[in-house]
Amino acid sequence: MEQEKELTVGSRVEHERYGAGFVYRVSLTNYEIIFERGGKMNFPKSTALAEMEVVEEAPAPEGDKQLTLAEVESALTYILDKYNGIEYEVEMGERWNGGTMVLKPGNDSLSKEIPLETFFHKIVMVRDRLRVLEQNINSHKKMTDEDKVELQQYISRIYGSLTTFNVLFKDKNDYFVGAGGKE
């Protein structure tokens, strides 16, 4: 995500409709600006710089660093992702779209066909449930550290057993990774 320029208190701006103004308060999402025509007005940070010209930027006060919206968004995304709060769509490799998996036993009359999209969805569900299990083990208050490590090793081995299915994933970041850390 590109870091957008932020105005600080005391910055001078020029607005086509409201004239000259200065930033007198900065919140996480808005600038409060006093204009010569229009008085005090609030502008969302996301659109403010497109609506006016910055005449003079005031220096940021030392020791009084305010987080930008982009910084808060980045931190929140990290936390939610870490604790499995963000679900995103995991994509199957394009070459597999429309494909079929055929389970063919010794007796051909008993074969079964499964759409690869269905199989892929189930593999992703297994992976996501393993991640939740991992988090529950790691945050369990009554388990000893030794017990947690032992169970974590089993989960790592399960991931390793599932690396065969990495070929189905579009993005390598979604792959299963076993105990060795390699595919």
Mean pLDDT, 10 residues at a time, over the chain (183 residues)? Answer: 70 91 88 88 89 88 67 71 66 93 86 92 88 84 90 89 92 81 51
Q: What is the pLDDT of residue 43?
A: 92
Spell out the residues 6+ positions from residue 43 whose beta carbon is closer than 8 angstroms to its own: 30, 31, 33, 51, 52
Helix extents (H) in 28-115: 45-51, 69-82
Structure tokens at 164: 């065969």
Q: What is the pLDDT of residue 60?
A: 74
Q: What is the pLDDT of residue 59?
A: 82
Q: What is the pLDDT of residue 183?
A: 47
Q: Where are the domains of the chain?
A: 12-58, 88-174
Report how far residue 66's alpha carbon sits from residue 133's, in angstroms, rounded to the nearest whole number. 37
Contact present, 166 and 175 (Cβ < 8 Å): yes
